[in-house]
Every structure is written in structure tokens, then in C-alpha cells.
Structure 1
Amino acid sequence: QSQPNPVFAVGPAGGFADVVVWLDVDEGALPPPRTEPVIIEQVGCRYSPHISIAHPGERILFRNADAVLHNVHAAWEDGQTWLNFGQPRRGDASVQVAPRVGVLTLRCDAGHPWTLAWLHILPHPYHAITDVEGAFRIESVPAGTHRVRLWHSSWELLGTASGRPRFGDPATAEAEVTVTAGGEATLDLLLPVPGESP
């Protein structure tokens, strides 16, 4: 079955969507837990949204919106599995609790090898995901100089393995930004080209 490349979403002006941007701080005052869980669906044999962010202890609802068997296989960056369960029917849902800080790759092993998404679990509220124009906004940033980090899942298609697309390593970048009390700051970040130094 043909599916669009889930990791390559570029706006008319060249901005990249689905880039995770966050401040490089260990902790922060977490907002009150969301009353509704973070929702990640498999719909049209694809994960939606493609990129999600949660905080440790938050609820995450995995739901099958298709009338076919799906599987939720979530693994950490080192390959260790966090979750691996089936959802055979439309409407099947499972609520899980984000266990710790890290990045999880989400796949479906039930005959849909192209299904791919990522879940970032961050320890503070200073983060954003870029929109289709590549723009982002992080609210309530403390005054001071901060290191800002950027992560994109990689658009470099290396080939396939057992029918599953293989992409290169994530593209990352970082920069510093200074924010004054009650003020705003603008920061332009560039993604490195695969195979080239940032």
C-alpha cells in the first residue's frame, strides 16, 4: 500500500513541520496535569499526530480508529520496548502513563510497516512542535539565557528492511537565546543537512 512519507512535511517557505523544540533544562514547574489524556490514534493506517509531547506521569490514550487490526509498539532510543499490544477492533483504546523522560518510537507490527511516529516525554513545560510553516512559540520562559534544542526525526530515507522504511539518525541543532523578564525573543534555527556537520 502506498503512503506519503510521514517525516517530510515542508511549508511553502521551506519551514519544517513536526520539529520538537525545547529548552535544555533539567526540570521546571510543570503545569497541572491535563484533565484529558494525550491522544495518539491509528487512523488510515497511520499514527496521528505524527509527533506528540507528554510529561512524566501524564496519561496517554492509544486508540484504533480503523476497522483493521493494529498494534502499538513503543520503544525507547536504545531499542528497549515500553509497550507492545494489539488493538484488533475499531474503537479499541488503552490508557498508559508516561513513565520517564525520553523519546519513544511508535510502530505498528500488524502488517503496516510504514506506520511510524514519535512521542517525546519532557520534564518541563518549555517546549513546542513546529507548525507547517516551521514556526513555534514557547510560553512563560523564565528570564535569562537558555540553550534551545531542536530535534527532527530525519527525512533521510536509507532504504527498507523487511518492508519497513529505514531513516537516518535524527537531525539535531542547538542555539542560545536570552529572554528578558516579561519580554519576548525571536530565534531562527536551521536543520543540518543529513551527512553534513551542523
Structure 2
Amino acid sequence: MRRLNMLLRLSRTTTGLIAGAAVTLTLAVGCTLEFGGGASVVPAVEILRAEGTEEEAAGDATVEVAGYGNLNGRVVLEGAIPSLPPLVSGSLKDPNVCQVGVILEKDYRLVVDEASGGVKNVFVYLARKPPGAKSAEAGEDQSMVFDQKNCVFLPHASVVQTGETVQLVNSDPIAHNVNLKAKSNEPFNSVLKVSDTVGVPYTYQRSEREPVRIVCDFHSWMLAWQLPLDHPYGAVTNEDGSFSIPDLPAGEHEFQVWHEGRKLLEHTVTIAPDETVEETISVSAASLAAIPPNPRPRTVVLSTRP
């Protein structure tokens, strides 16, 4: 018997029950439905969940929860602060702006508070929108500025909301490009003009499972991370490793702990209504020392946007 497989994708508006799902129809020749030439088929339907559908369904559902609580935490280093290879050395391109001393001083790959052992620039977040999630509070202008100063991206690590405008600007008197390597969103790779304080807007339309890597193809050491989420349950640690995530639905939550290109661990927290949980998350020196290198660019995009 011959079998014919067809893959159809249903849009979210097609049906509320299997929005975004992939449907495989298996047609077996010689069964009951009539086709030309005497052949007949019986379609066997298999529902396959498409990537991203599960979290969308969870977030879209109206769910009653027992209440909401807060999480205050700190990410701390276990052991001695590891040393990393220098971010830059020797002569650099555009040395009048890209000064070695300034770049080394602003090396954000590993920032540890010597007094407390707190680790800066660690992402702590829920990979999926939990049932009963509150909506993120919209700011007055619902936008953030992503800048380039002295050949360093600022801020180095940030959480942004889907639908929020990220204004890509360039404070340096030399050209940079922003190569934003999103997976679930439209990639962006374009030159920003010299001293462009107006910049170019970019908006994440979908949540990402991991922070998005951003590089400048003109200056290989430039690196930053942005995590777009469709819920408010994510944070980046401060100078002392502290973070705060309010208004979590009561229940058990599994947080992703992520730093410089890789997941360090998962950390489970149980939230009780109207209470604040205090958590310390310890990470090993070996895991922080294993920062993957920023690969040198192979392609430089020379197009500019008005």
C-alpha cells in the first residue's frame, strides 16, 4: 500500500484548540474516500505541537491562582574569582575611540563583588509564561536605549518585554554595526551611522528561550545580551548579585540561571501567597570560568538604514 504524507500548519486564528500546531495527514490509498481513477483514501490525523505553542497556551489561559508572592535573591560565587583571558590586547581598530584601557575596565564578561561574592549580569528567569501570570507593567514610553560608547555595548545584559521598542543608537564618532542574532524573532544586522543618537528602533515580537547574542562585526570584542520575555518574571543581577522578581503566582517555579552564553543551572522556588521568598543561588568558579569565546566575524554587512 502506498502512503502519502502531507504537513499542514494551522494559524492561531484557525482554531483555538490546536493553534499553531502542525497536523500530519496520512492518506492510505485503497480505503474509503473516493478519488479520481478509482483510488480512495482514509485520512489519519496526527496532531504535533509546534515549538512555542505550549507556553502560548499557558499564557493565554485565564487561570485562578491562590495568590501572588515575591522572590528576592542573590547569585554568589563559590570559590575564588577565576581569571579570564584578556578581552583585548595590543593595538585595536579605531584606537582613538576603542581604547584598550577603557575596554578592559568595562569588561562585563565576569563581574564579581569581592565583598559579597555576588555575580553581576546573571539572568534569572522563567523560560515559559506561568498560568495566572500578571501582565508586565508598561512604562511611560515603553522603550529602552541600547548604546555603543568607547566600543562597548551598553547595557551589557538586559531583559526586555515583547512589544517594547529597543532604540539602537551609537554615541561613538565611528561607525558600528549591530548584529542581533535572534532565533524566534527577526534577525537584525545593520550599520549605525557615526554619532547617531536617534538610532534605529527594533521590537521583539516573540519571547526567546535564551538571551539573544549581540555583536559588532567591526569590533570583534563587542558583545551584549538581551532576553525578550512575554511575561514579567525575569531579571538581571546587580553589582552585588542581587535581583528581585515580584508578583509571582503561588506555586512551584523552575528558574533558568544563565550567564554569558550558557545556562549555569536550574533553580526551583516555591512561592506562597503574600510572602517574599529569600534565595541564595550558588554558582561554581569553574562554571563561570568556562565563558565561551566571542567568535570573530566572517561577514561584515555594509548596508545602512536611514
Instruction: Give the TM-score normalised by the residue count of structure 1.
Output: 0.82
Contact preservation (8 Å) 2:134, 2:247: no
> Are the equivalent residues in 1 in contact too, given 2:177–2:191 (CA < 8 A)?
yes
Corresponding residue to 1:109 among 217, 222, 231: 217
Match of 1:73 among 179, 182, 185: 179
Q: Kindly tell me: are residues 11 and 105 of structure 1, through their superposed partners in 2, closer, same or farther at Cα, counting changes over 3 Å?
A: same
Q: What's the offset of the Cα at 1:14?
A: 1.6
Q: Does 1:179 align with 2:271?
A: yes
When residues 71 and 64 of structure 1 are mapped into structure 2, their CA distance, relative to the original with a 3 A threshold, is same
Tell me how far 1:136 sits from its aligned partner: 0.8
| Cα distance per residue 1:27-74 (max 9 Å; x no partner) | 533224332412110111110000011122211111101111111110
Distance 1:36 1:175 in 2: 30
Q: 2:282 maps to what in 1?
A: 190
Distance 2:258 2:241 in 1: 12
Q: Alpha-carbon deviation of 1:171?
A: 3.8
Matched to 1:18, the amino acid is: N
**Which amino acid in 1 is paired with 2:128?**
V
SS at match of 2:256: strand
Q: Which runs of 4+ in 1 moved over 4 A?
A: none
Unpaired segments ≥5 residues, structure 2:
1-91, 93-99, 291-306
Q: Which segments of 5 or more consecutive residues in structure 1 lack a partner in the other structure? A: 154-168
Match of 2:159 among 41, 45, 53: 53
Share of identical aligned residues, percent?
A: 25
Structure 1 residue 184: Cα displacement:
0.6
SS at match of 1:118: strand
One-letter code of the match for 1:7? R
Q: 2:138 matched to 1:33?
A: yes
Pick from 192, 195, 198 the counterpart of residue 87 of structure 1.
192
Q: C-alpha distance in 1, partners of 2:110/2:274?
A: 35
TM-score (norm 2): 0.54
1:16 counterpart (119, 133, 140)? 119
AA at the equivalent of 1:183: E
Deviations 1:101-154 (A, max 9, x none): 1231111112x111100111112101111011111111111211211221101x
Q: CA RMSD in A?
A: 2.2
Kindly name which structure, 1 or 2, has the bigger radius of gyration based on alpha carbons.
Answer: 2
Q: Residue 259 of structure 2 aligns with which residue?
A: 152
Find the aligned partners of 2:162 and 2:156 in 1 and give their Cα distance.
19
Change (3 A) 1:125 1:119: same
State the distance in 1 between where 2:263 and 2:126 align.
17
Conserved in 2, the CA contact under 8 Å of 1:143 and 1:178?
A: yes
CA distance in 1, matches of 2:244, 2:227: 17
Counterpart contact for 1:71–1:108, Cα < 8 Å: yes
